[in-house]
Structure formats: C-alpha cells, structure tokens
A = this chain, B = another copy of it.
Amino acid sequence: MKAHTDKTYDLQLDDLRNKLLTLGGYVETEIATTMRALTERDSKLAETVIGQDREVNRLEIEIDEACRRLLVLRQPAASDLRFITTALKIVVDLERIGDLAVNIAERAIDLNQSPPLKPIPDLSRLADLGQRQVRAALDAFVEADPDKAEQVIKNDDLLDSLYHNLVNELLALMMEDPRNIRRANSLLFVAKHLERIGDHATNVAEMVIYMVRGTDIRHPGSRK
C-alpha cells in the first residue's frame, strides 16, 4: 500500500489497525477459552474470560477514540474514510462477540453447579465454526480481502443450520426429562449466543466488503 505524505498519519492508521487486531485476538481467545471452560467444566477458566472482557471493553473505547481523533485530525477521504468508519462499526461487533463469550462463560459457571448433562458434540462443532468465522472475518479485514469476506458470509448458512439442529436436539432432551430443562435451556442460550457470534462475524465481513469495494452489501433486499 502506498504511504501517506504525512508519515504520522500512516502510523496512526497502523495503530488503529493493530488495536482492532488485538481486539479481534482477544475475542477469539475468549470464545476458545469459554468453550473449554464449558466442556471441561472449569469455572476458574470461565472467570478468566470475564476478566479478559475488561480488556476488550477498554480497547473498544480506545478504538472509538482513535477513530474520532483520526476523523478530526486527518479529514480522511476515500479508502481511509471507509477504513475508519468501518472500524467504528466493526468494533461494536467485536465487543459484542466478547460479551457473548462472557455470557456463555456465565452459563458455564451456572452449569458447573449441576451434574453434567450428556455430551452434545454439535455444540462444540458450533463453537468451532463460530470461532473460525470470527477469525476468517478478521483475516479478511487485515488482508482487505473481499473474497475471504464473502466466504464468511456464505458459511453463515452452515452455522445457522447447525444451530437449528442443535435447538431441536436440546428441545428433545428437555422433553425426554424435565430435570434436563434448566440445563438444556442454558445450553440453548449458549447455542443462541454462538449463532449470534456467527452473525456478528458476518457483519464484520460485510463491512470489510464495503471497506474494500466501497459498496454496501448489507440488506440486499431492502435497497432503494
């Protein structure tokens, strides 16, 4: 990429990009950790997730500030403007992914207080897929690669169908035995959260496409 005449500008943009990547990295590990906490029934681990989310929140505010600073100091245009406004939006999604991981961690702590339910392999698969979607969306962002982003958007369907299967499975579990209801319900929410994580990854991917191509592909049905 061509450098700006003003080197400091480049430094500031790089700084913003790095902050976003750091945030993405945190969020990814949060998902991984929280799922390990869930499957390994490790409440300590779950709590570390909650601690890590503080970092995420701090970074969110920092990124917002960095964006505003760039906007006011640099009057960015064209790709720079798209990058910065995208950053403003992406950060919301990433932070929300972090929150969802925290929610899952809270459920895990909750579940660890009751005896374990029978293992549900689809849940791990869902978590895996969600995490992979987040990573792929971030990769697409870093590499400014719209093709990768499109792949993320396509893969969301996979994630959705997995989620629906899981919901049915869990509902069946509830009907099997009312004693399962509370725990299965928790897992249901975990699944829901993972599905939302996938959605947020899709959002990021959509923003990446906008950022690179300059065309907004959100809500294809509702355009004027």
Q: Distance in Å from the Cβ of A179 to the closest Cβ of chain B? A: 8
A sample of 20 inter-chain contacts (CB < 8 A) reads: A53-B222, A54-B221, A54-B222, A55-B222, A58-B224, A61-B216, A61-B218, A61-B223, A65-B216, A68-B82, A71-B76, A71-B85, A88-B89, A89-B92, A171-B181, A171-B185, A174-B178, A174-B181, A178-B178, A185-B185
Q: Least Cβ distance of A22 to chain B in Å?
A: 14
Residues of A within 8 A of B (CB): 53-58, 60-61, 64-65, 67-68, 71-72, 75-77, 81-82, 85, 88-89, 92, 171, 174-175, 178, 181-182, 185, 188-189, 192, 216, 218-219, 221-224
List the B side residues contacting A67 at CB < 8 Å.
85
> How near does chain B come to A132, taking the closest CB pair, in angstroms?
23
Q: A121 to B12: give the CA distance in the assembly, Å.
A: 53
CA distance A51 to B178 in the complex (A): 38
User: Which 6 residue pairs spanning A and B have beta carbons closest together?
Assistant: A57-B219, A54-B222, A57-B222, A175-B178, A58-B222, A75-B75
- Smallest Cβ distance from A27 to chain B, in angstroms? 14
CA distance A58 to B58 in the complex (A): 32
Name A53's closest neighbour in chain B (CB-CB): B222
Chain B residue nearest to A85 in the complex (CB): B68
A160 to chain B, nearest CB (A): 13
